[in-house]
Structure 1
Amino acid sequence: MAIEDHKNPNQDIMPKSRRIRGVGGTEEEENQWPPWLKPLLKEQFFVQCNVHGDSSKNECNMYCLDCTNGGSLCPLCLEHHKDHRTIQIRRSSYHDVIRVNEIQMQLDITSVQTYVINSAKVVFLNERPQLGRVKVTNACDVCSRGLIDDCFCFCSLGCKVAGTSRSFEKVVKQTPTELESSNNSSGVEDSIPSPKSLTLSIPQVPTSTSLRKRLRKGIPYRSPLQ
């Protein structure tokens, strides 16, 4: 007598796209990027090295791709990473950039805006703050920063990581003009008073008596001729 294999109806089925606790994304999304990318984007560069603080070359502008949580490194720290993959972080207008020829061998930077700085192509690591919104034909899908070329969708590596996540929801920022129009349409009255509430104050013209406090003297008479 053959024994049939019956499935337990109460058995829990593990979904293919299992969410990892504490990460905020699915396992499939986490595997999309190398394990060193997100720590790289959160790292602080161009600070003094804690180990080689007495040296003149103690600025941390290097990063090891094989030591995920190794932190930023100074040139002297590379002695302990001879057989590892290391990249150099550079700066442009106080923002971290990396050269395209270094990062494109390790990461897919397709759709990320590239810039030419010091005769070399670079990409920004993270989003840059904007002083004001300017209407542009092509903007970053995440932070709405204007892009130079239409073939790009993101202004930085951080924006690409955020924009390609399934949980990403683009927030449309309203300009001051749009905020003002939305407030008026929602029934919020303007601070400018209506013309009916304005009272015209006509200045009073002083009377002749107020202008002349002293009475005018009488008509002078000439002394009789002698």
Structure 2
Amino acid sequence: MKGEFVPPWLELLLSTQFFNTCTSHHNSPRNECNLFCIDCQAPEAAFCYYCRSCHHSSHRVIQIRRSSYHDVVKVSELEDILDISNVQTYVINSARVVFLNERPQLRGCGVLAIKSSPSSLSSYNCETCSRVLLDAFRFCSLGCNVSYKPLQQVLFKLILLCNLICSPILG
């Protein structure tokens, strides 16, 4: 995804908090805000089942699901609108999903622990957060894919900044 245009709705999706109770439908069943509209990009990005019927019936909507308290999206809902080929997929409740954001890691489970272990279980790690990956993917989540900055790119920007600061002012 890096090197390509990151759609504005994706950054909004990654920063949105889901599964709160809908303020408009707080007394109704199925009132958790677990839907996201790609077309609207409204400030209230997360909405419930009833809000979809009222305001988003003809829009492209993604349903957010939960797995171990972390937000996931079915691959089938994203693959036609976003390149997720570098993001680790998981099968949860018989559906192939991707995690929206980086998940906390247990101590001793990162790259250093794996590299120091003689019997490494995986040689694949997320290029952003170093989480162990199950397969030959580059990122553990959509968020890590979006926030990835290759070391060369960071060093180049630092060198440019240093040159600007250190160069004599021409008068």
Task: Tell me the TM-score normalised to structure 2 length.
Answer: 0.76
- Letter aligned with residue 77 of structure 1: C
Give the number of equivalent residue pairs. 140
The amino acid across from 1:159 in the alignment is C
Structure 2 match to 1:77: 51
CA distance in 2, matches of 1:125, 1:54: 29
| Structure 1 match to 2:167 | none
Deviations 1:52-108 (A, max 9, x none): 111122101101000113410100001211111001000000000000000111111
Q: Which residue of the partner structure matches residue 124 of structure 2?
A: 138
Distance apart, 1:133 and its partner CA: 2.8
> Residue type matched to 2:51 in 1?
C
Question: Offset of 1:167 from its aligned partner?
Answer: 5.6
Identity of counterpart residues, as a percentage? 53
1:45 maps to: 18
Q: 1:91 aligns to what SS in structure 2? A: strand
- Does residue 94 (structure 1) correspond to residue 69 (structure 2)? The answer is yes
Pair member with larger Rg: 1
RMSD: 1.9
Task: From 118, 121, 141, give the equivalent of 2:96.
Answer: 121
For residues 124-162 of structure 1, the C-alpha deviation after alignment (integer angstroms, 9 at most, x for no partner) is 000000121331421100111000012x01000000001
**Structure 1 residue runs without a partner (length 5+):** 1-27, 170-226
Cα distance in 1 for partners of 2:84, 2:33 equals: 24
Q: Which residue does the alignment assign to 2:139?
A: 154
**5 Å matches for 1:11-50?**
32-50=5-23
C-alpha contact (below 8 Å) 1:142/1:154 kept by paired residues: yes
Q: Which amino acid aligns with 1:140?
A: C
CA–CA distance in structure 1, aligned partners of residues 98 and 153 of structure 2: 24
CA distance in 1, matches of 2:99, 2:154: 20
Higher relative contact order (CA 8 A, sep 6+): 2
- Quick check: which one's helix share is greater? 2
Residue 34 of structure 1 deviates from its aligned partner by 1.4
Q: With structure 1 as the length reference, what TM-score do the two structures score? A: 0.58
Supply the distance in 1 between the matched residues of 2:140 and 2:154 (Cα, whole angstroms).
16
Distance in 1 (alpha carbons) for counterparts of 2:108 and 2:67: 21
Structure 1 position 168, deviation (Å): 5.5
